[in-house]
Amino acid sequence: MQRRTFLRSTAVAALAAVPLTTSLSGSASAADIPVATLAQLQSAINSAAPGDRIVVADGTYTVPSGSAIDITGKNGTAAAQITIVSKTRGGAVLRGERGFVLSGSSNITLSGFSFRQSTTMEIPANCSAIRLTRNDFQLADTGDPYWLVVRADDTKIDRNHFHDKTTAGIFIVVDGSGPTAMAQNLHIFRNHFSDHSFTGANGGEPIRLGVSSRALSGAHAVVEYNLFERCDGDPEAISVKSSDNTIRYNTVRDSRGGIVLRHGNRSVVESNHLIGGTDGVRIYGNDHRIVNNYLSGLSGRALVIGSGTTRDHNSGETEDERRGNDACDRAVIVHNSLIGNTGMLSGETRAYAPQDVTVADNLLVGDSGSLVAMGATSGFTWQTNLLWGAAANGNIPSGGFTRADPLLSQGADGVLRLSPGSPAIGAATLSGAAVTEDIDGDQRGSARDIGADEYATTPALRHPLTAADVGPNAA
């Protein structure tokens, strides 16, 4: 039986290698350009060259109505960004109707600002390689504005804090050019999303990747290592409405919203912690992978394999048809742990049943209701799932599970993991799953364990995220 010692996941190593080119230590370089007024800032931007670093003095800058801080036709390079940075993190506060307005620009970094304007900030499709890092977003809490709209390829949004909104509107919307395209290769990481308290039925997502008209377009976005706390503005904390995205290593805690693949195909939801909120993971569309997720203490539905108003979205359907639900087909749902949720693994009752889904090597533990409550299904494969607790088995086929105490032990981070002698150890059987590591970043080896955790005697490499791990001051 394989045990891990010091191996770290390639994803963790890759993220650690992301260069932090926007250090706010205050050490000046030859290209530093200090500014202390809006006029000086605009002048410095107008004459900026690759490698320049415009340093904005601390203070409050109110942009007059009808005006903006214009970044047009400015192009750094991958090795020499044009950086506009607050002298200290959060020290330069931008107020007024609009702040930075970008057009036709690339390789621009905006860092360390407190954004307090009243209208949406946009990264348009005619830009590329724009980075927003270590900023604090708390736009005016009125109306129904989106706070940040991204239409440009190769955008990075990292180590920001989006917080405190009581009205409808979304923190980050990702679209693209025209009516159907998606921005490509977006990277959203190490951000903190907190305290969206809008009480409407929907319309207050922290992140929305696409919209129904863009569902069939591949975005290839990566959303990882973000923390969501008290995000109650919508049942969807991460709403995916496009294809070919990766949602991994995020923590959603004490939030109404969950991770929802609402439209689109071929996305991966991997190694996320959803703890103590309402909803967990809900999936529609085709060919998704749901692997290594830890869903615990949720008062709503932990994992939903969705039914549809249509079998498959297609380019010829009407607008109303596109807005409907696409039945979940050919998903692989493997190595997830569902522990102590009110609703565990469930389905729905729309006209088109999910089909050809594999549900294998998952751990389900609960003491009330039914562990599995699927609606109609077609061609499902149920294999080597481990069930335990006072809850009824539900309608899982008898050959698709065993029932035994998994011998869980709670760690200092609150996560329940396998302990020595657990019947889950080495018991996974799904071949071709290609799940090389667990939620903690431990290598699974050839004898894989059931559930999100692979038993190990060494400390976990990943844990549920805390506020210290994300936001403007994160490493």
Tokens of 145: 């504005």
How much of the chain, in percent, has pLDDT values that exceed 70?
94
- Please check whether residue 448 is in contact with residue 426, taking contact to mean a CB–CB distance below 8 angstroms: yes
Residue 433 lies in a domain: yes
Which helix (H) or strand (E) segment holds residue 345: the answer is strand 343-346
> Over the stretch 39-83, which tens digit does the pLDDT of each residue have?
999 999 999 999 999 999 999 999 999 999 999 999 999 999 999
Angstrom CA distances, 338 to 360, 384, 416, stand at 13, 15, 10
- The C-alpha torsion from 79 through 82 and 88 to 92, rounded to 10°, is -160
Per the structure, the complete domain to which residue 456 belongs is given by: 10-22+134-469
CA distance 341 to 347: 15
Residue 246 lies in a domain: yes
Tokens of 100: 């930075």
> Over the stretch 1-32, which tens digit does the pLDDT of each residue have?
333 332 333 333 333 333 333 444 344 455 79
Residue 122 lies in a domain: no
Residue 29 lies in a domain: no
Tokens of 376: 């109609």
Burial of 137 (0-12, 13-18, 19+ CB in 10 A): buried
- CATH number of the domain to which 462 belongs: 2.160.20
Residue 2 lies in a domain: no
> Over the stretch 161-206, which tens digit does the pLDDT of each residue have?
999 999 999 999 999 999 999 999 999 999 999 999 999 998 999 9
Residue 99 lies in a domain: no
Is the pLDDT reported for residue 35 higher than 90?
yes
Tokens of 91: 């020290």
Question: What average pLDDT does this structure show over 402-417?
Answer: 98
- Nearest CA to 161 out of 469, 470, 475 is that of 470
The confidence score (pLDDT) of residue 389 equals 98
Residue 106 lies in a domain: no
Residue 200 lies in a domain: yes
When divided into structural domains, the chain yields a total of: 1
The pTM (predicted TM-score) of the whole model is 0.94
